[in-house]
Amino acid sequence: MSSRRSRSRQSGSSRITDEQISDLVSKLQDLLPEARLRSNDRMPSSRVLQETCNYIRSLHREVDDLSERLSELLATSDMSSAQAAIIRSLLM
């Protein structure tokens, strides 16, 4: 990740500063579920990245489980267009 060095690497618009990076890291930290428990004190960046990876993996797993559940539900039910309209209205 040599782009972290704000030197000649950046051909485009902005130079990457440490402040920018720490700002993004703190934003990422705010998204993590752990951040709601803590006092939002700054975690080290590596910890934030690690937790981010773990969180994304867990979200992927959740989506996979939900997909399986939805596919089972789809297999058993026969959905007419009227039923689909009802379901759509229930979702809104």
Site of interaction with other proteins (CB under 8 A):
1-5, 16, 20-21, 24-25, 27-28, 31, 45-46, 49-50, 52-53, 55-57, 59-60, 62-64, 66-77, 79-80, 82-84, 86-88, 90-92
Q: Are 47 and 35 in contact (CB under 8 A)?
A: no
- Shortest Å, Cβ 37 to other proteins: 17
Minimum CB–partner distance for residue 39 and other proteins (Å): 18
| Least distance (Å) between residue 41 CB and other proteins | 19
State the burial class of residue 48 (Cβ atoms within 10 Å of its Cβ: 0-12, 13-18, 19+).
buried
What's the first-to-final CA gap in the chain, in angstroms?
Answer: 44
Q: How much is the CA Rg of the chain, to the nearest whole Å?
A: 21
